[in-house]
Chains A and B, each alone.
Chain A
């Protein structure tokens, strides 16, 4: 492998993901769900729009999850598949999806951690399937459109003058 593999997802993947997450938010009473890939890029947001910078949030989430992954290994666990950060009013629940993506659930006092955990189990399973299918498809998807980025160099020149 020369570098990390790229992946892409289509509009129908996105709709499926949204569907699963919306059902989960309804069942768990959580406010918002974000999907972040392990390199720190925001993949999707469903529910109440976040009141913070989602890009920065995504990069910190990935760092948080990766650091905890290493901590798990140090104490002899293969991984921490989920993490909880509990605050006085706002809390977060994070769970691994297909080893490549992190589900972040934001919830307040209207939801309980127990319910979020319980309902998350099903949505994680569903999303695992969606993402695994997506990753297996890499190389045949629309990302292979030839010349997608033709002209990109001019755009870079323009930005940096």
Chain B
């Protein structure tokens, strides 16, 4: 739920990093925290266990700058990835404006990715949010590992596409991040839409800002 405050001339939006445990959600935020100038970001809050596993959430506010006289601020949250923290995970989704799903590319984490994606769809549905209609970006993390699954397989399992029934949206939309690929295309007789995806190695920072930028852009587009 974005909030436009005309009195203090601020626009606030909420982005949530979702995904399986140990997938790199917190690492994404830590990298952003480390790279963004202290003038444009706030304090990072981590509610974690003693072993640094996220217990409730991590939180990082980032100012994008002033747009049309309005200070634009994104509140970045991560959820706890571990399966048994679903109650807390669901709370963080309340009022979300955009989602980044951080998938763990390792072959042996495929099942955990699929389970987490299903959990995301379920939790969003419980709030009455439609994941195919709000800003949503996937990040395939840990691409540097030797046991990383091919992108084609990850896309097939996590981002197979959804049918586009709205005639106005039935036009080919190229994926600017991946030449030759499309975010909306006709497959057989059906129009299919997919979420944009980015490859990343979050510990090195590769792909972290591409993902954040893509999702922030989509959120601001929904406001304009």
Contact = CB atoms under 8 A, between A and B. Distances in A.
Interface residues of A, number: 44
A95 B3 CA distance: 20
Interface size class of B (residues with CB under 8 A): 35 or more
Given A9-B5, A59-B75, A158-B65, A149 B220 contact: yes
Contact of A56 (B5, B43, B213): B43
A106 B87 CA distance: 28
A5 B129 CA distance: 10
Contacts of B43: 53, 55-56
B2 to A, nearest CB: 5
A72 interface: no
Interface string B1-31: 1111111000110100000000000000000
Contact of B64 (A4, A43, A156): A156
B68 A148 contact: yes
Contacts, number: 148
A150 B224 CA distance: 6
B210 to A, nearest CB: 8
Interface of B: 1-7, 11-12, 14, 40, 42-43, 45, 47, 56-57, 59, 61, 64-68, 70, 72, 75, 77, 87-88, 91-92, 94-97, 127-130, 133-134, 209, 212-213, 216-217, 220-224
19 contacts: A1-B130, A2-B134, A3-B133, A6-B1, A9-B5, A9-B7, A13-B7, A14-B6, A39-B94, A41-B75, A55-B43, A56-B45, A60-B59, A67-B88, A148-B223, A149-B220, A153-B221, A159-B40, A160-B209
